[in-house]
Amino acid sequence: MENILSYDYYLVQFSGGKDSTAAFLYLLDKGISQEKIELWHQDIDGREEAFYDWPITTDYCRKLAETFGVTMRFQWKMGGFKREMLRSNSRTAPTRFELPDGSTATVGGKRGKLSTRMKFPQCSPDLKVRWCSGYLKVDVASAAIRNDSRFIGKRVLVISGERGEESPQRAKYAKFEIDRTDCRNGKAKRWVDRYRPVLDWKEAQVWNIIEHYHIRVHPCYYMGWSRCSCMWCIFGNKHQFASAASINPERANELIIFESKFGYTMKRNTDLQTLISSGIPYQHISESLSHLAVSYIYTEPIITPLDEPWILPAGAYGENCGPN
């Protein structure tokens, strides 16, 4: 592995969840200058109304970055999840990403074959099938790196928070490797590596570093979720879907209608109505937490009082529903 202190930019792929938070805190512990760190969040729903993700996630990420004095940058597919899901005989939408001067750049969306989705992503390690990760996160972040002239002639380290404990698939990832956006031998001379610092961490190590910094994590953890992915993540189990439906029944009904319209279920072996009906909402869902989770402005302090015990959220060490 390269010397971790040798890079010009550190781009943390930041979901707002515990693992990407731990990966960010790891950089601080290693003495990486906050001026070199950027938190990158791929906004699943674009700049539209939250459709599939937690509405609060975007501002939670923004507030955490502000608290630690690091740069926050957003990238998104225009129209977000909903536009991609409803794509019919058209190309995938352009990608937009924020630049240092406050403007946004737009790339893509003009080439490629016309094709149709009209269905939800499916639970699969194949990103072409699990297109929510491939099209709305991986490809979006890669497009931003490749098209930002700041990185030409620079050394860039992309940090991501995958942990092998989460699934057999993730356990196979390399801890350090050349990133897919690297061009060190090309005309651009863009040196890009990827590092997964928490790949071999146990969950206890993640919570320990978060406790050390007294961070109040994403609201979903306090309600009982063990992972902070999308609110309606395709890997969620019956209890998570029942919980999400109890918080936002209108969206649950809309997703059920889409499933009927598509003729394809989100889960391979059951429909959403049956899945939701078979689950039990988490007992830690309160009115204040659910209201915060579906809000667009995060109002709680990121750092909990240092003179009070840090509280482990209800979802810690819970149901591990993730890619495998």
Conformation bin of residue 301: beta by default, left when phi > 0, alpha when psi is -120 to 50: beta
Q: In the prediction, which pLDDT does 321 show?
A: 56
d(CA 19, CA 4): 19
Residues 320, 227: contact at Cβ < 8 Å? yes
**What tokens appear for 1 in the block?**
């592995």
**What domains are there in the chain, each with its CATH number?**
4-205 (3.40.50)
Q: Are 113 and 217 in contact (CB under 8 A)?
A: no
Please give the Cα distance from 105 to 86 (Å, whole number).
24
pLDDT score of 112: 87
Tokens of 113: 């074959």
Please state the φ and ψ torsions of residue 194, each to the nearest 5 degrees. Answer: -120, 135
pLDDT, tens digit only, all 324 positions of the chain: 779 999 999 999 999 999 999 999 999 999 999 999 999 999 999 988 999 999 999 999 999 999 999 999 999 999 999 999 999 999 999 999 999 999 999 999 998 899 999 999 998 888 889 999 999 999 999 999 999 999 999 999 999 999 999 888 889 999 999 999 999 999 889 999 999 999 999 999 999 999 999 999 999 999 999 999 999 999 999 999 999 999 999 999 999 999 999 999 999 899 999 999 999 999 999 999 999 999 999 999 999 999 999 999 999 999 765 554
